[in-house]
Structure 1
Amino acid sequence: MYKDELSIFIPNSFLSESKDLKVRTYKVGILGRALAVFQADNVIIYNDDHVKNEDGESDAAFMAEVLSFMDTPQYLRKQAFPIKKELKHVGILPPLRTPHHPLNNQPDVGDYRQGFTVKRNNKGTFVDIGMDKLAFCKEQLSVKKIFDFKIAKIAKKEVIVTPDKPDDIYWGYDVISSNKSLKNSLKLIKPDLVIETTRYGDYIDSIFDELKHKVEESKSIAILFGGPYSSIQEDVSNANWDLIKLNTIPNQGTETVRTEEAVVATLSLFNFMRY
């Protein structure tokens, strides 16, 4: 686990070049894997209002749903995501294989699990944690939602869980579809260091030592990516955070770098600096 919180910002124009549902699903899948591999805590889908994108709101909703589907453990997906045409191709998505996606359906006392709240009574809430019977939480929780739990008791007649999550292992990412401008979306997480990725920024090798020091000192880092048509156009400078414009792929061999390619390249470098 890293000591900082890492948030990735993706524009709702990310899919504007792709109309085929299978291709769109695959592209979002690349993002989901990168988020998990490099232990991102949040992915925020912002409104790229500098690009004419009539489908921006629906694209953002699709991206958020697919990313949430990927982050949800397999044993909860049928309950949490009803069958719909937009999810027709989720079978091609690569598994995350993160700690909150256990392969063992017989957990032990002390293990953590994500659970889907099925129903509740005046004593508490019944929760599906992927076992052959529902677990019980002695708290009133909203139903039809996913929460984090720790297993407190396993017996023949009952399994007892308490709301809790581990703080020493990576536990997936949160998805936020803000429908706000990039600058206003940044205010949702209140970062202290903002990295704007652009081919017109400083080459990473030219400011590496300074950047690594800032990363090590930061508690909340936001990395911003543009869409398929242009770099980030909005001025996101603010007195509340330190802004660095950065080129993480100097001397690129192609005319353009796709957003999903920039995400993988950039997160791999920041993984090294955060380690």
Structure 2
Amino acid sequence: MSTTTGQTSATAVATTAVNWRERHQQIREWKRQKKADKQRKLLAKTGAVVDDDGAADTTNGVTTNDATTDTTAAASASESMDITTTGAETSTTTTDSGRQWTASIAVPFSIVENAQSAELKAYLIGQIARSLVVFNIDEIVVFDEYCSQQPPITDSTDNSLQYDKRRSAMVQMIRILQYLECPQYLRKYLFPLQKDLQYAGLCNPLDSTHHLKTADTDCRYREGVVTNKPAQEGRGSHVYIGLQRDVQIDRSLRPNVRVTVRLADNCDLRRSKRLKGVAVSPDEPRELAGLYWGYQIRVAKSLSAVFGESPYAGGYDLTIGTSDRGDNVDKHLRQLPKRFNHLLVVFGGLKGIEAAHDSDESLSSVEDTRDLFDHYLNTCPNQGSNTIRTEEAILITLSALRKRLLR
């Protein structure tokens, strides 16, 4: 009896030990998985790849694998530089985390003239800017739907006054759009006090991806302005990027120029005494990291110039016109291509796109406005109001096209 009891006790102890080891192994596995998940969340913004062991694999903030690391690095080193916000296209290697396609909208500046006061004009422009950022629009084209020609200098008639009024509305719209798109910490360096921005403070902030704060240290890209701090010979300029310390870039640029900076991989924004980076194209955050990096502004003298002066090679491969005379978007949405390179959505003014078409002599050979676009859509069928304001039409249309814009 004693022998049997001893064997049973030994077996129980061994079973307990095995269960304890399994439990301990499960706890260790749970902690390792939790750590890996935390690292994935921290590195999600930079496009880093985290393997099963929680190790991160990054190359200049771009998701890579062993087969494509050299290709991506070579493309980053050889890409054409465009440090200004001109909208020039940059040739880069397509990555899984990047976004190569763009979305643009065209809006007539005459909608600003319809506002009753300077405060309402500023707020209206702010509404449009908010719509651009919410739906990741990369370019806004401000065009003249009446194709107004500058009258002679000696002309003091009503035509001259009307032209000055329209030009003033255009300038105000462009200035406020530029001001809102610019990160807050750069505005005092790039925008002096001026009448067009008198009521810009009434506009709601955009809170865009590139409007980074001091505590935002995960993003490897930041917008900055070149300072007048003298640099040593053979070294680049110093750029203020909204932090306590300036970053030194790889080239010398004239002061007071806005520039997009990619920070070095080994640069710790919290601990590094010296920050170093590279001046890159403003398109690189979108093309390589998939980040929305604000919108660019282009001015067109007519509706035809909206299409003909596209900054992209080959122009826009998908154009959409919006009108109450267009096709029902609910029935036509599936006919829109899911893949495109450069999308353009055109909005009309008080009298619609048809008025802009009739005013443009270069488009006189086209009889039907519908023929100017690949798709001509009514994005708010069965509307209860007789008219839809352009700022409202922008939100309605972009919401209807959301599956194509945010794919």
TM-score under structure 1 length normalisation: 0.88
Which one of the candidate residues 59, 64, 81 is aligned to 2:191? 81
Uncovered stretches (5+) of structure 1, i.e. residues with no partner: none
Q: Against the structure 1 CA distance between its residues 125 and 96, is the aligned structure 2 distance closer, same or farther, given a 3 Å change threshold?
A: same
CA distance in 1, matches of 2:278, 2:307: 32
Equivalent position to 1:257, from 377, 381, 388: 388
Instruction: Give the equivalent residue in structure 1 for 2:333.
Output: 208
- Give a deviation string over 1:71-118, Cα, whole Å, max 9, x none: 11111111111112221222221111221111235636x621001112
Correspondence 1:233-252 to 2 at 5 A: 233=355, 234=357, 243-252=374-383
2:245 equivalent in structure 1: 133
Q: Which amino acid letter does the alignment assign opposite residue 237 of structure 2?
A: T
Q: Distance in 2 between matches of 1:128 and 1:232?
A: 47
Does 1 or 2 have the higher relative contact order (CA < 8 Å, sep 6+)?
A: 1
1:91 aligns with 2:201: yes
For residues 388 and 100 of structure 2, what CA distance do their matches in structure 1 show?
30
The answer to whether residue 398 in structure 2 is matched with residue 267 in structure 1 is: yes
| Pairwise CA RMSD | 2.4
Deviations 1:179-211 (A, max 9, x none): x21111222221011111111111112322112
**SS of structure 1 residue aligned to 2:393:** helix
Q: Secondary structure at the match of 1:14?
A: helix
Alpha-carbon deviations, 1:102-138, whole Å to 9, x = none?
Answer: 1235636x62100111236453212110012322112
SS in 1 for 2:180: helix
Q: Quick one: distance in 2 between partners of 1:85 and 1:199?
A: 36
The size of the alignment, in residue pairs, is: 268
Quote the residue 1:226 is aligned against. Answer: 348
Equivalent residue, structure 2, for 1:59: 169
The 8 Å contact of residues 127 and 137 in structure 1, kept in 2 or not, is answered as yes
1:273/1:113 CA distance change after superposition, 3 Å? same
In the superposition, the TM-score normalised over structure 2's length comes to 0.61
Distance (Å, rounded) in 2 between the aligned partners of 1:29 and 1:176: 17
State the Cα distance separating 1:217 from its structure 2 match. Answer: 2.6
Q: CA deviation at 1:57?
A: 2.3
Alignment match of 1:115 (pick from 224, 232, 248): 224
Offset from partner CA, 1:212-241 (integer Å, 9 cap, x none): xx2x13211100011124334317679xx8
Unpaired runs of 5+ in structure 2? 1-97, 149-158
Q: Distance in 1 between matches of 2:141 and 2:243?
A: 32
1:161 aligns with 2:277: yes
Deviation at 1:243, TM superposition (A): 2.1
- Superposed CA offset, 1:31-60 (max 9, x none): 000000000000010111168963222222
Q: Identity over aligned residues, as a percent? A: 28
Higher helix proportion: 2
Q: 2:197, 2:354 → 1: CA distance?
A: 29
Q: Which has the higher mean CA deviation after the structures are superposed, 128-137 or 116-125? A: 116-125
